[in-house]
Chain A
Amino acid sequence: MRIYDNYIIILTGLLLATAVIFAVMEETRLDLCFSVFLIETLVLNELCIYLNPKAKKGLNTVNYVLFAGFALITVDKIVEIIWGLSALEIIWSIVRIKAAGVPGL
């Protein structure tokens, strides 16, 4: 399927280029990186209007999952602005502490 091949090549190329650009810019905000990935995926899905309806439905599901992640990040940022607490930061800290207890980490 040439249209699928082209779609995958463009998407992976875009995501890889974004990751490389962020690395060069020494960007350390993962939430920004995730948001850019989401926007790129959404835009590409909208541009590929000739994909078959089944593929479009499937890609919409991926979009919903990614958007749920974006919504989570947004809510976390709002909570952080209002109460000064970041739920995601707390979770990551717990994971890091737990991982530190594992020999070799």
Chain B
Amino acid sequence: MKNRYSELGWGLLITGMGFAPVSYLLLRSVPLISLGMAMVVSGAVCLVLGSTRPKISPEVSMLLMDTGLENLSSLLEEMGLKSKGMYLPSRLTGGKPRAVIPLHSNPHFPVVSEPLAERLIVSCGEDPEDMGILVTTAGSNVMGMLETEIGTSSDELAAALTTILVGTLDVADGVKVEMNGSEAKVTVSHPRLEKNETSWAEQSLGSPIASIAASLLAEALDRPVIIESEELLSREDLIRLRILHLQDKK
């Protein structure tokens, strides 16, 4: 795949490196020399940015994500699992934050107090009937993309989500987080990932953006989180999350 940043970088760098000496020796023009210097600086920056782009196209990434979601949807459909996924922090999953889809979430979500076994079908509560499937979500692997530890205030959470969704994944233009007790409202402006309402995986785990937000919140607060609702407005994705207390039997 062609990398347009690298192409632009090489173009500017080579032109600038030729332009500056020619302006100095032939034209004796300081403004043109400074223009050549500006081209060299811009070219170097473009080259650096180009080298950080992934080698595969976004279409391939989309294909892989759709394949994974379809397989998970088939599994959930076959098992008849309709309960909402519970996003757990890494402390409770032994490794990275993951989501458990309980077989029963009525009348309350199972209380997970100890790390779950690293298997597909896990016991996720004190009751013998508290069983569920433990899955890796889109949000599970984003923690490695953050340089610093995530804070617990709404501003720190918004900054971490902006770094991931805007700076690294480029799937939105901005993120706002409002915390209100055990509820959190995440507003993602101009989301560029479509939600598939008919997918069993998305009905249970939410859209990829909501999944990332829930995983990050669960990891930051060290508490299980569920996606209560997700509303796609014209230019905003409104995600309501509920933070479950570890010993809460709500």
Contacts and interface: CB of A to CB of B under 8 A. Distances in A.
Interface of A: 1-4, 7-8, 11-12, 15-16, 18-20, 22-23, 27-28, 30, 33-34, 37, 41, 49-55, 58-59, 61-62, 65-66, 92, 95-96, 99, 105
A100 to B, nearest CB: 9
A52 B25 contact: no
A89 to B, nearest CB: 13
Interface stretch (B63-71, B92-100, B127-135, B159-167): B159-167
A99 B26 CA distance: 9
A19 B48 CA distance: 23
Given A8-B42, A11-B45, A15-B42, A99 B25 contact: yes
A63 B205 CA distance: 42
Nearest to B190: A2
A62 B42 contact: no
Contacts of A2: 170, 173
Q: Which of B38, B51, B173 has the most CB of A within 10 A?
A: B38
B37 A1 contact: no
Interface stretch (B27-35, B103-111, B213-221, B226-234): B27-35
A3 B166 contact: yes
A20 B51 CA distance: 30
Nearest to A53: B147
B41 interface: yes
Contact of B42 (A12, A22, A50): A12
B173 A58 contact: no
A1 B52 CA distance: 11
B168 interface: yes
Interface string B5-40: 100100000000000000011100011011101100
B162 A50 contact: yes
Interface string B155-183: 00000001100111010010000000000
B46 interface: yes
Contacts of B145: 52-53
A57 B147 CA distance: 11
Contacts of B26: 105
A1 B24 CA distance: 36
Contacts of A53: 145, 147
A62 B45 contact: yes
Nearest to A38: B41
B178 to A, nearest CB: 20
B44 interface: yes
A12 B49 CA distance: 14
B42 A30 contact: no
A105 B25 contact: yes
Given A27-B30, A33-B37, A99-B25, A52 B168 contact: yes
Contacts of B163: 49-50, 52
Contact of A15 (B41, B49, B167): B41
19 contacts: A1-B53, A2-B170, A3-B167, A7-B45, A7-B49, A8-B8, A12-B38, A18-B34, A19-B31, A27-B30, A30-B37, A33-B34, A33-B37, A37-B37, A41-B45, A58-B52, A62-B41, A99-B25, A105-B25
A95 B170 contact: no
